[in-house]
A = this chain, B = another copy of it.
Amino acid sequence: MRIGELAERTGTARRLLRYYEEQGLLVAGRSPNGYRDYPEGCVNRVLQIRGLLESGLPTRIIRQILPCINDPRAIHVSDATPETLATLEDERRRMTDRIECLLRSREAISGYLEAVRREQRPAAARHEVTA
């Protein structure tokens, strides 16, 4: 598919798709006319990229992580320098930190929302709200 369709299907600006490619997160073939040509799998790949970016990972790290995710078959010790492995372990730990932080905060928000709603319930006719 061409860049426009991929953009639409992933809710991602064309500009960014080209940027991700430039950053080595995405590979696109080329049609004879020079247009980028994406395989179907790119949709999920882009969604992955965006999810990780939204979660605070920089492209440099995503570049290292994506091969583990998208090519579950292409695992060879050869591509894994001990340095890369260390980075992956490190990044896994950081992901765990993020997850825990987000879980805690989400619980707190839920608690707050519940509390507010409990307070809004009891007096059912109390809607003299002056915004």
Contact = CB atoms under 8 A, between A and B. Distances in A.
Interface in A71-130: 72, 75-77, 80-81, 85, 88-89, 91-92, 94-99, 101-106, 108-113, 115-116, 119-120
B116 A75 contact: yes
Interface stretch (A6-14, A25-33, A35-43, A51-59): A51-59
Contacts of A52: 101-102, 105
Given A77-B116, A119-B75, A119-B77, A101 B68 contact: no
Contact of A54 (B48, B76, B98): B98
A129 B100 CA distance: 28
Given A54-B101, A102-B55, A106-B95, A72 B116 contact: no
A44 to B, nearest CB: 11
A24 to B, nearest CB: 17
A67 to B, nearest CB: 8
B111 A81 contact: no
Per CB-CB distance, the 7 closest pairs between chain A and chain B, nearest first, are A51-B101, A68-B112, A56-B56, A69-B108, A55-B98, A77-B119, A95-B106
23 contacts: A48-B101, A48-B105, A51-B97, A51-B101, A54-B94, A55-B55, A55-B56, A55-B101, A56-B56, A65-B105, A68-B108, A69-B104, A69-B105, A72-B111, A75-B112, A75-B115, A88-B109, A88-B112, A88-B113, A92-B113, A95-B106, A98-B98, A98-B102
